Amino acid sequence: MPLHDVAGHATCSAMTHNTPPSLALITGASRGLGAGIAVALAARGTHIMAVARTTGALEELDDKIKAVSGVATLAPMDITNDGAMQHLCRSMHERWGALPLWVHTAIHTPPLAPVTQIDAKAMDKSIASNIKAVSTLMGYVNPLLQAAAPNAHAVFLDDTSDAAFSGAYAATKAATRTLVRHWQREATTPSAPTVHLLEPAPTATASRARFYPGEDRSALASPADEGERLVAALFGPRP
């Protein structure tokens, strides 16, 4: 299955010549596609900086990475905590000086509700996680990516969910998509990273289960398989 961006353009052939990066920051790494991508990159020799809120889930990811002879640094942090994200990026600068790959998969999925009954707190949390944190991280991570030019990449995943009662999620994801599209248009200098907005195949994640309860999950890709497919399209097959 070829890799496509959200506009439907085939991108696989353009990306497979990239060398697997020595280091990758993955925000939202503990579960789902974030974990699948982390393991696939680790199997190619990439050191994984794994960021997620849940320590236990990060430790489970670390076990999977070790199983493919990979190495990870675990950072149990909330991406909506501005001070924590500043500390993370400063620490990465002090340790490595540059970041060749950022993969952002963190997402907040609010409860399903009609648009006329969206809970204000749920909407505020969606805005904080899916819009404000993404915008803030772009500013913090960009200097690290620029330091790795011309071989730096920022990767975002996009699903255009049209499930009923998912208006809060869809609205904030649309805002994220707009931020990424504008970064793509603006990243024109030699030091700018290549910014990717990719649409994965339907995948058996916890977020999708919330939007499509009762769906036959046997027809969906597993996070591990889809993570491997995405990474192979970006950086080639495992050695």
Candidates 49, 74, 48; CA nearest to 59 is 74
Candidates 167, 160, 159, 171; CA nearest to 32 is 159
Neighbours of 215 (CB within 10 A): 14
Superfamily of domain 22-195: NAD(P)-binding Rossmann-like Domain (3.40.50.720)
| pLDDT for 7 | 39
Candidates 115, 186, 102; CA nearest to 142 is 102
Cα–Cα dist 173/192, whole Å: 24
Phi, psi of 105 (to 5 degrees): -125, 0
Could you read off the pLDDT of 22-76 as tens digits, one per residue? 999 999 999 999 999 999 999 999 999 999 999 999 999 999 999 999 999 999 9
What is the amino acid identity at position 79? I
Could you read off the pLDDT of 176-201 as tens digits, one per residue? 999 999 999 999 999 999 999 999 99
The reported pTM is 0.92
Cα–Cα dist 47/38, whole Å: 9
